[in-house]
Amino acid sequence: MSSPAHRGIQAAQLGLVVNTLLAITKLVAGIVGNAFVLVADAVESIADIFSSLIVWGGLRIATRQADDDYPFGYGKAEPLAAVVVALLLLGAAAGISVEAIREIRTPHHTPAPFTLAVLVGVILVKELLSRRVLKVGEEVGSTAVRADAWHHRSDAITSAAAFIGISVALLGGPGWEAADDWAALAAALVIVTNAALLLRPAIADLMDKRPGAELLERISLAARATPDVRHIEKLKVRKAGLQYFVDLHVQADPGLSLHDAHILSGRVKTAIRTSVPEVAGVLIHMEPHEV
């Protein structure tokens, strides 16, 4: 079975190929079909291309082994990549907004009907891609891959907005030519919202926010179930990329020798890492159990 990082990289590579094809298709259709909202959508796909490249690079760096310079490994490259993806989304939204406002103020022709067919295909492809990448992100616990998935979904949303805008422009006739530009402006607001939602978990990982209760409970149960462990306390867990590091105080018989206490701490580490494979390192503090 592929490693979590490898699966995440494969998801990013798939997004890279799909986004490249869609960006070219939308850009050509938007220019030929006189639909700025489709050109704006192409810009979003181009941003998706860079986001997939960033996620790919972030995951590759995150899988590097710890060394003297980075004793805790390179895992933080993964949420850092997610932050960059979110910032790219914000940049794309700003660019689309500026151009949409300019187009609204500039008279232009009604978009061509064939652009609707292009958008239907784009929506279907991007939504399917988003679901597939999001599933991988959830399974491997990657903030960056999940961010990439939501980037794909935001593209599907902007395409849906474009479909509505162009439909209104075609049905409304003269005087409604700018409907697709207003749709592009609305899509930009959706992109900004998605970017904000992506930033929160990425920043949480960078700031070592405590993981969910379910993971903490699995670690706690593994430690408590180890023979000769009487009590545990001060369980702290932080995430680094796709892995976790655990800091734990273990209480045992005060009469244990230093050697036996060391052996027990090793058993606790093994129990935790066996029960929770995502854990890369465990630091145990042995203490006497006081009744």
* CB of 142 closer than 8 Å to CB of 8: yes
Secondary structure class of 174 (helix, strand, coil): coil
**Residue 223 CB contacts under 8 Å (≥ 6 apart), including other chains:** 229, 232, 235, 248, 250, 268, 271, 272
Q: Where are the domains of the chain?
A: 4-206, 213-288
Alpha helices in 33-178 (DSSP H): 36-62, 77-104, 114-140, 143-172
Note the pLDDT of residue 1. 46
Contacts by 235-239 with C-beta closer than 8 Å and gap 24+? 236/210, 237/210, 237/211, 238/208, 238/210, 238/211, 239/75, 239/79, 239/205, 239/208, 239/209, 239/211
Note the pLDDT of residue 222. 92
Fold of 213-288: Alpha-Beta Plaits (3.30.70)
Note the pLDDT of residue 5. 66
Which of 47, 48, 84, 62 lies closest to 203 in space, CA to CA? 84
CA distance 255 to 248: 20
* CB of 247 closer than 8 Å to CB of 283: yes
Please list the helix, strand and coil fractions of the chain in percent, rounded to the nearest 5, in that order: 70, 10, 20
Could you say which residues of the chain have pLDDT below 50? 1
CA distance 290 to 213: 27
Note the pLDDT of residue 108. 63
CA distance 222 to 237: 14
CA distance 191 to 194: 5
**Residue 263 CB contacts under 8 Å (≥ 6 apart), including other chains:** none
Q: What count of residues does the chain have?
A: 291
Contacts by 233-237 with C-beta closer than 8 Å and gap 24+? 234/285, 236/210, 237/210, 237/211
Note the pLDDT of residue 83. 87
Fold of 4-206: Alpha-lytic protease prodomain-like (1.20.1510)
